[in-house]
Amino acid sequence: LAELEGGIEVAPNDQGRIGSQVHDEVLADYAPVVGAAWRPTPWLALGATWRGASQADFDLPIEVDLGETFPLPVPTLQVRGTAQFDPEQATLEVAGRPLPPLQVAAGLTWKRWSDYQNPIVYTAVPADFPAQPAPDFTDIIEWRAGVEWPIEAGPLVVTSRRLSLHAHPGARADRPAQPARQRPPHDRRRRRPALRPPALRGRRPMASPRRAPAHERFDGHRRSRLRPRDPPGHADAAPRAT
């Protein structure tokens, strides 16, 4: 955390106008932390930590001087308090494995909240004004417990279309299962056969119009049919008129 120290001065300037000057400084506040761990057996572990108190205080007194134009005495306004407070605490925890897949842990934490003071002070009070009552916080002890049991549901398989979890017999984490092969959406084998009208059932479908071969198409320049070449050794082929 950090502390904020400084002050605010309100006074007239050289032209007689009232202005203010702010002086502030941020100081870091550190808290020590000490910890230790001990494993007496392979299935039992102990740990302990201690952390010191840490708090973020601010102290910005406001001093006002109205000058000769307004000769009124203004007391110093105290802007002082605590923005955040983390008490001193100590933790003791024990963890064990009574079974290979089962882990049990429990811990106790003591927090010293009795050191907490009032977060703010009176801004401007006379000297004989009674002090603020103390918060009277008390120390507390917190306990925590937890149980861990891993569940193996099978390797996680990520595909390009969906995220699925496959649990195959005999699959292990070091050998992830292979996802099932999927056909692409444009696969022709998945197309359904075209439905024929009832009047055409049992009849042979009509042939689609035949496209003329290349040698029977008309050339746009000659306006005549193209004669195909005779295959080699076809000497008795009759000539065709062009």
Confidence of residue 136 (pLDDT cuts 50, 70, 90): confident
Instruction: Tell me which residue has tokens 């002070």.
Output: 121
Task: With a cut of 90, say whether residue 107 has pLDDT above it.
Answer: yes
Backbone angles phi, psi at 198, to 5 degrees: -60, -30
Nearest one of 26, 30, 31 to 3, comparing CA atoms:
26
CA distance 154 to 176: 8
pLDDT tens digits along 150-204: 887 777 666 655 444 444 455 454 455 555 555 555 555 555 555 555 555 555 5
Q: How far, in Å, are 18, 141, 216, 236, 239 from residue 231 at the CA level? A: 114, 105, 17, 11, 13
Q: What residue type is assigned to position 72 of the chain? A: L
pLDDT tens digits along 52-68: 999 999 888 888 888 77
Q: How far, in Å, are 152, 177, 183 from residue 158 at the CA level? A: 17, 11, 17
pLDDT tens digits along 9-60: 888 887 778 888 888 888 888 899 999 999 999 999 999 999 999 999 988 8
**Which residues, 6 or more positions from 2, have their beta carbon under 8 angstroms from its beta carbon?**
26, 27, 28, 29, 56
